[in-house]
Structure 1
Amino acid sequence: MKIGCKSMRQSFDNYASSFTLVGLADVEVKEARERVRSAIQNSGLEFPNNKKIVVNLAPADLPKDSGRFDLPIALGILAASGQIDAGALAGWEFAGELSLSGELRPVRGALAMSLALYGSGVVTQLVLPPDSAEEAALVPTAQVYRARHLLDVVQQFLPATSESIATSTGEGWERIDSAPLLKAASYPDLADVKGQLGAKRALEIAAAGGHSVLLVGPPGSGKSMLAQRFVGLLPPMTTDEALQSAAVASLGGRFSLDSWARRPTCHPHHTASAVALVGGGSPPRPGEISLAHHGVLFLDEFPEFPRAALEALREPLETGTITISRAARRSEFPARFQLIGAMNPCPCGYLGSSQKACRCTPDQVARYQGKLSGPLVDRIDLHVEVPAVAAPELMQAPPGEPSAVIQARCVAARARAITRQGKSNHALQGQEIDQFVLLDEAAVKFLNVAATRLGWSARSTHRALKVARTIADLAGARTTQVTHVAEAMQYRRALKTA
């Protein structure tokens, strides 16, 4: 009988001191119970062991992940037990992972959190751990405080009748200045690439108009060097672009202060899956195309990517966004990137090369190029052949034109387009093409005849028109003339696609 009473009493004590999290918390969030309990106790504060604690993470139907809930949970318990002033917490937002000793650790997505508050017009004060606070403070007008320890936060919200407690360090609580000035980013210089004047001209057009590019050439011709230096031709990032790009990187756990205001260049391996490229998972996370937002997505060995991964690029190339739908959730991520694809012309890589004979059969060439579907190739504005550079030219040629000089021309051309139509040329749609391309009468006749003979689709024709408009902007011309259309047509290289 005594054993039974003792067991009942133990069960009652366990129920009375339970600590429960509700609201679709995943394993990482549920482990917060032990982190919060240890952090409070090891900080010299009182954990209410004789109470039943229920933490409701609303809304109940939204999955919760990461350790950013640790600090809010700990403050909620301390407020409910009267150790801090609950009323003083109004107008404050908290996020941070707690160590067992009470130290605060950085969390993923701090910049996205701050940007969401800024975009919705919510005026609040954010308390975040080191590194996360500096990240969130990049948002203009953000009121961000950095705390290194749980005690640093508790010290600010003690009841008026309580005595001050000893904090972990003298500089544990600090206001962080927001929105540092954008500084000029440094990128690899296009002057490093000798020769390849045709490919450089195509990259200049792409940078000026926001167009996508497919580089086709034998191994070692410089396709990768050209692609890696393309980002240096793009205009400097605006504050809004830098914030949007950094927010996506923050969600993916890839943001660092050193990369602030640098246009991203994502270079996934050709074994990457469709989910790795466009995003996915549960809960959905951004993929490479979103991490390249306002930057460059470079896909080397383009035909070697899985067919499903390449086909998933078709919609984002048109819309600039990617929508990921799952049974329980639907998420939309930005994906306004410039695609640079690089490929060999055949399996051995030497089709049409003057330096080495190709040993591929016509069927092998057609099968290799057919890995890229017609609809995907149709969405790529510029198809550029990158021939091999002869050894004498490679050794004796002077350095090419610096990126800064080419970038200045691209910035001026893009400014003309934005002044005229409010957007870059690649974003023109429907009636905007007829309204802003401003084709000369002779250019209209030339394009009609050429498109009919080449059997172009309506999309191919519109893509060529937008490229021609960019060429005209680079030349400073008000209208799009025959010479501009003729040059644009040269960049519609026909691949034998299936």
Structure 2
Amino acid sequence: MLAIAKGCAVMGISGVPVAVEADLARGLPSFDIVGLPDCTVRESRERVRAALRNSGYDFPLARITINLAPADIRKVGVGLDLAVAVSILAASGQALARNLEYITFMGELSLDGMLRPVRGILPGCAAALGSGSDYVVVPRDNAREACCVSGLDVIAVDTLNEVVEYLCSGSTPRRIGHRPRPPDAPASKAECDFGQVVGQDAAIRAIQVAVAGAHNLIMVGPPGGGKTLLASCVSSILPAMDEHEALEVTCIQSVAGAVSPDGLARERPFRRPHHTVSPAGMLGGG
């Protein structure tokens, strides 16, 4: 038996659609995952096995092969747990395999079948929409973040049993739907503005010119000269982020696990790394 469920992997701050193919064949019972999985994806075998049993389903006594396509992209993270479980249930006939091509599944499974939130839901939902999905099934704690993507119906679930119930009966345990950001939503007020800066008229003028023309700017001076204060005031003269900018910032926050409770980011980020930071510390390494 063969069944295919749709999931998403995260590369950088972008989502990549992944087809999770489950094949059940005769032979000695085994459970293998292929398609360049990393160690966390390979460990999902034990999470999925325990989650199925503790949720009341039979784990197939067969030779199970899970292929994560495209096979030339490395799959990282725990967000494919739910898609792997659904593909096995569909291949073994314990869950209806209808309309799986229109549904994307994302979430981490605990051993008792509960779903845990994962990072990278927002870029994953964007990739799901681009791959032709109409619905996305996510853990309840990720629902608000998933709603930031327009055009998807978000199904928020707490357990694997709720997912199977949705597939078999069509009932939606927690249908969230899309909540678009109001176009006139005011941006958060900046922490400081140039009214708090004493003097530095030439520097302020240079910053205004750079911001107006979208130019790069470097400030050089002795410690305590006000460079950081001036830089932190720049957001006070920038316009509010448009939808594309807000989604890009929120995608970065999603991958970092620092999404705002309000969902879509509305405040322009300001970062102040220490002057002794190394290139690897600034940009990442490995």
- Would you call these one fold, judging by a TM-score over 0.5? yes
Look up the match of 1:175. 176
1:33 aligned to 45, 49, 52, which one?
45
Q: Distance in 2 between matches of 1:132 and 1:54?
A: 29
1:241: how far off? 1.3
1:127 aligned to 114, 119, 137, which one?
137
1:252: how far off? 3.6
Q: Does 1:21 align with 2:33?
A: yes
What pairs with 1:199-348 in structure 2 (closer than 5 Å)? 199-258=203-262, 260-279=265-284, 281=286
Q: Structure 1 counterpart of 2:189, which letter?
A: S
Structure 1 gap segments, 5+ residues each: 1-14, 165-170, 282-498
Q: Distance in 2 between matches of 1:159 and 1:174?
A: 14
Q: Distance in 1 between matches of 2:69 and 2:266?
A: 35
1:121: how far off? 7.0
1:86: how far off? 0.8
* SS state at 1:184 partner: coil
1:184 aligned to 172, 183, 187, which one?
187
1:172: how far off? 5.0
Structure number, greater radius of gyration: 1
Cα 1:204–1:74 change in 2 (3 A) is: same
| Identical residues among aligned pairs (%) | 41
State how many pairs are aligned: 256
1:180: how far off? 2.3
TM-score, normalised to structure 2, is 0.81
* SS state at 1:86 partner: coil
Q: Structure 1 counterpart of 2:142, which letter?
A: S
1:78: how far off? 0.9
1:46 aligned to 55, 58, 73, which one?
58
* SS state at 1:199 partner: helix
* SS state at 1:144 partner: strand
2:202 aligned to 180, 198, 203, which one?
198
What pairs with 1:418-433 in structure 2 (closer than 5 Å)? none
2:75 aligned to 64, 68, 73, which one?
64
Q: Distance in 2 between matches of 1:204 and 1:87?
A: 57
Q: Does 1:149 align with 2:159?
A: yes
What pairs with 1:448-467 in structure 2 (closer than 5 Å)? none
Q: Distance in 2 between matches of 1:159 and 1:189?
A: 54
The answer on whether the counterparts of 1:23 and 1:58 sit within 8 Å (CA) in structure 2 is: yes
User: Which of the pair is proportionally richer in strand?
Assistant: 2
User: Which of the pair is proportionally richer in helix?
Assistant: 1
Deviations 1:9-29 (A, max 9, x none): xxxxxx622111111111100
Q: Distance in 2 between matches of 1:139 and 1:183?
A: 20
> Could you tell which deviates more after superposition, 144-153 or 218-227?
218-227
Cα 1:248–1:33 change in 2 (3 A) is: same
Cα 1:172–1:64 change in 2 (3 A) is: same
1:279: how far off? 4.8
The answer on whether the counterparts of 1:105 and 1:129 sit within 8 Å (CA) in structure 2 is: yes
Deviations 1:470-497 (A, max 9, x none): xxxxxxxxxxxxxxxxxxxxxxxxxxxx
Look up the match of 1:407. none
Q: Does 1:139 align with 2:142?
A: no
> Could you tell which deviates more after superposition, 188-197 or 100-109?
188-197
Q: Structure 1 counterpart of 2:251, which letter?
A: A
Q: Distance in 2 between matches of 1:145 and 1:273?
A: 43
Structure 2 gap segments, 5+ residues each: 1-26
The answer on whether the counterparts of 1:24 and 1:60 sit within 8 Å (CA) in structure 2 is: yes
2:119 aligned to 108, 117, 121, which one?
108
Look up the match of 1:89. 100
The answer on whether the counterparts of 1:43 and 1:151 sit within 8 Å (CA) in structure 2 is: yes
Q: Structure 1 counterpart of 2:181, which letter?
A: P
Q: Structure 2 counterpart of 1:228, which letter?
A: S
Q: Distance in 2 between matches of 1:29 and 1:140?
A: 29
Q: Distance in 1 between matches of 2:277 and 2:128?
A: 34
